[in-house]
């Protein structure tokens, strides 16, 4: 429920709460996970300055800085367009070590 492209839920008190944009919801093992929830967990690590999550199965990438709009929001479309790079780690191939920027 919500404006086109937005995922909104109604709580027990009948109030509406914004969850995420529908194109940013990550499906994991049959569950819908908000990209904002993933970002919140990643932000909690002391070595992480910022994070952006969006639906791409199993992949993690590191960048020196995130592309931002003039208002400071992450331009996730730019990250999507990058696709898989030399720094991308696919967790489905555990024998391949995670690569980091030097």
- State the DSSP string of 32-75: EE-HHHHHHHHHTSTT-S-----S-TTEE---SS--B-TTS-B-
- The overall average pLDDT reported for the chain is 80
pLDDT range class, residue 94, cuts 50, 70, 90: low
pLDDT for 45 equals 94
pLDDT for 8 equals 72
- Comparing 71 with 18, the larger pLDDT belongs to 71
What are the structural domain ranges in the chain?
1-48, 56-102
Percent of the chain with pLDDT over 70: 79
pLDDT by residue (tens digit) across 4-42?
A: 566 677 888 988 876 666 677 787 888 888 888 888 999
């Amino acid at each position: 429920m919500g404006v086109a492209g937005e995922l909104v839920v109604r709580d027990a008190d009948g109030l509406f709460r914004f969850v995420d944009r529908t194109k940013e919801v990550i499906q994991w093992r049959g569950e819908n996970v908000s990209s904002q929830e993933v970002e919140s967990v990643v932000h909690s690590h002391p070595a992480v300055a910022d994070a952006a999550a969006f639906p791409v199965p199993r992949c993690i990438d590191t960048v020196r800085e995130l592309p931002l709009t003039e208002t400071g929001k992450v331009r996730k479309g730019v990250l999507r367009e990058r696709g898989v790079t030399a720094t991308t780690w696919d967790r489905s191939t555990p024998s391949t070590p995670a690569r980091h920027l030097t």
